[in-house]
Structure 1
């Protein structure tokens, strides 16, 4: 059990909440369990997160933000063409989601349940991801690599067209034989559709 003299921060609470969710699942995990894992009273947890729902929302947002942060560096990688950034970004998103599902299946299943009840957090996450895609596609439109009149519309289309490779509802398919080739085929088709006529 952690030392109670260590400062209780929102980050420590979120780390403990992840561990409690991993062990107990979303249906059985309680704020009391989180407090016990931290060696504090549940009132101490409530001082940082006013409700159990607020705590669940924060831990889910933190989990989703890890993916967004991982992808953000690709958006600004000026040493790569917009097409390469787009390919790298889509591959990194697919890989990030596969790792979450495969490396920690209990926590992935827990977050899938939590995400279903947190429409605002999911909407913000998708808006962030499509915003990143928009920036990549806009850079391609500016350079002449892509022929798209509206990068935001194109970004949403690309995001939805690749849903099979990042939507948790498809997680069971991510380890199937041939999934890499199918991913590459979809990305190649999308890139051809975005390219400027030569």
Structure 2
């Protein structure tokens, strides 16, 4: 991190990067705005010009983390021509990628995942926007797949996300180490797949 950065040109992106580094070093509970300011070589007052509190700072970091590490890769899957035309398989690839990324960060980037889990409990607005982004992805897949014929793709997308929440919602992270977790997902997905096919047939 550049210690010569002046407060006049300090950007939110630089603050977020420094906060992530500080969180990995000290953890969520022990990280302070002062720690972030020290890493940037500025006063803590400079940070407060951009973020009014530690809570707001963590929300900003979480929103950016979700965008970079979860939404961006899933957007690529949503629009990947390799999967378009695969119908239900396209949906499965998407959900499996969502699960894999959440599980990966829970294991390999524990401090930032802890931050995400904490903000999930405290900031309904950020999580609502994140969920709506996921729903929009799934809805887009449903709309572009000729296999489906649903009047309300958003409702179907929301149901899929809710049905699989145990496998990607941070509140269930403690369950992801179970030896049976993959088999349990396979059973849930089988039910989802059969349900979608049944509903689709009724629409024809």
TM-score (norm: length of structure 2): 0.86
Q: Distance in 2 between matches of 1:167 and 1:5?
A: 37
Q: How does 1:124-143 map to 2 (within 5 A)?
A: 124-140=129-145, 143=146
1:12-54 CA-partner distances (Å, limit 9, x unpaired): 2101111222333333322111000111222322333344333
Query: Bigger CA drift: 170-179 or 107-116?
Result: 107-116
Aligned to 2:119: 114
* Partner in structure 2 of residue 179 of structure 1: 181
Q: Which SS does the other structure have where 1:48 is aligned?
A: coil
Aligned equivalents of 2:96, 2:186: Cα separation in 1: 9
Q: Does 1:100 align with 2:102?
A: no
TM-score (normalizing by structure 1): 0.89
For 1:79, what is the secondary structure of its paired residue? coil
CA distance in 2, matches of 1:26, 1:106: 7
The Cα shift of 1:78 comes to 2.8
Match of 2:70 in 1: 67
**What's 1:82 paired with?**
87
Contact 1:60–1:115 (8 Å) recurs in 2: no
Q: Partner of 1:14 in structure 2? A: 16
Query: Partner of 1:91 in structure 2?
Result: 96
Count of residue pairs brought into register by the alignment: 195
State how far apart, in whole Å, the 1-side matches of 2:64 and 2:27 are. 17
Q: 1:107 to 1:79 in 2, by over 3 A?
A: closer
Detail structure 1 runs of 4+ shifted over 4 Å in the superposition: none
**Does the CA contact (< 8 Å) of 2:28 and 2:114 recur in 1?**
no
Question: Which residue among 147, 157, 163 is the counterpart of 1:161?
Answer: 163
Residue 98 (structure 1) shift: 0.1
- Asked if the contact 1:35/1:41 (under 8 Å) is kept, the reply is yes
Q: Which runs of 5+ in 1 are unaligned?
A: none
